[in-house]
Structure 1
């Protein structure tokens, strides 16, 4: 991975990537409404069974561009991804170090909140815009499963675990290197743009992608305000990321407000 990262940086530097002729700033604040599917944990807890809430996810990103050659531009982004749900399992299920009893009610709380720090270069800067760089994605999340009751629960027999609560938490904390890219196509004289943006990494069978396709409309050109609408898809197919094993897909529409100076 280190060799790939160094080679990619060298390729960017030697490409003579262009820089902004003036200082530039671009920021987007928005809400994403994702649906969740896939599995998590060694024994494949199917997240579909938990009917995870499709709550709005808030996100923000801000980029600063400068005219200094060879020094990369910087982009910071943050997504607060949190959801919860519950299900009744009909068989024993082992999740990490805990075996949940059959016919117990299991509640799930999942957080995939993360912050991105990206260094990138402008490769093209006209009606076709292309940026390439590297991202360090810092996760601060977890998946918690809590079970109550079960097939051995007999209310009239005190020794059975009717009131016992089973709980297991897998933490997700660490930094993941990813390749970053964004392409923007400006439609001349219309104020409309078509944008594709993404981060991705793949290593020893593990794969993590975060892709967005969107359109942008400069509805107040004089004030540099624009509105964005699009679709974001995130996959997390990993055997062990920190302590997490998963094959998750999180995707849905989003709406954002953009300021560019």
Structure 2
């Protein structure tokens, strides 16, 4: 009997501690699998852009955020996006990386990037939540072109300053919600990255779990970016999970 009472007391203390910590500090982490169709073109600055026939394949993102009650200090989120696709072009005749490419040519577009996000919670309740802030999308990918005899690679290593907004509308008592996350370029106005979808949240004693699914589009239309002109778009449906500690 004493052991049962002790175990109950420990469990109650753990739940109470987790609840108090959640009021003071919120940690979220998650991952998405994204089946994206890719299309677009790229070229060295000043040269005509080349339209490659890109494949469709799975992409991925992982993220984490930290929310706190300190006034005027923004919350922080970090998201890593793996975005890569292969393409081909028949009858090519162009220069890239200081080398000529002709005939059947292959390309690899690596638009992987890291999002650094600072935001404020404008609304936060079971019915509606709204976050507003800014972000910096640091590109760390490249374009690679290959033909039968040689290849050339140009890095994408600049960043884009972006506005950030995230909204969530829930159905109280059911755990169902709709959401939208939008990042819009400020220094490169034709760059955007947004998701819209539906989710289902399961509440637990220590952590909450959300299953999510929806549509995502990443448009990378940037001129003179790392010495390159790009007009690439990745779009398609995704599914993922988020944990809230």
Give the TM-score normalised by the residue count of structure 2: 0.83
Give the distance between the partners of 2:49 and 2:55, measured in 1 at CA. 19
How many pairs are equivalent? 218
1:26, 1:79 → 2: CA distance? Answer: 17
Match of 1:199 in 2: 183
Change (3 A) 1:245 1:233: same
Query: 1:173 Cα deviation (Å)?
Result: 0.4
> Where does structure 2 lack aligned partners over 5 or more consecutive residues?
1-21
Q: Deviations over 1:59-112 (max 9, x none)?
A: 1111110011111100000011122233322x52333533322xx221111211
Shift of 1:229: 0.2
C-alpha contact 1:206 1:239 (8 A) present in aligned 2: no
Shift of the alpha carbon at 1:188? 1.4
Q: Displacement of 1:113 after TM fit?
A: 0.9
Q: 2:174 aligns with which of 190, 198, 201?
A: 190
Give the match's secondary structure for 1:34: strand
TM alignment of 1:82-161, pairs within 5 A: 82-89=84-91, 92-95=93-96, 97-101=98-102, 104-126=103-125, 127-148=127-148
Contact 1:45 1:95 in 2 (8 A): no
Quote the offset at 1:39 in angstroms: 1.6
Write the distance in 2 (CA, Å) between the matches of 1:108 and 1:25: 39
Looking at structure 2, the residues matched to 108 and 65 of structure 1 have their Cα atoms a distance apart, in angstroms, of: 41
- Stretch deviating more after TM superposition (79-88 or 105-114): 79-88
Q: How does 1:158-173 map to 2 (within 5 A)?
A: 165-173=149-157
**Structure 1 portions without partners, runs of 5+:** 1-19, 149-164
CA positional deviation for 1:45: 1.0
Find the counterpart in structure 2 of residue 78 from structure 1: 80
Q: Which of 36, 43, 50 pairs up with 2:48?
A: 43
Q: Corresponding residue for 1:32?
A: 34
Q: Measure, in 2, the Cα distance between the counterparts of 1:21 and 1:241.
A: 42
CA RMSD of aligned residues (A): 1.7
CA distance in 2, matches of 1:132, 1:122: 7
Counterpart for residue 215 of structure 1? 198
Task: Give 3-state SS (helix, strand or coil) of 2:190's partner.
Answer: strand
TM-score (norm 1): 0.78
Range moving further from structure 2, 243-252 or 69-78: 243-252
More strand by share: 2
How far is the alpha carbon of 1:206 from its aligned partner?
A: 4.6
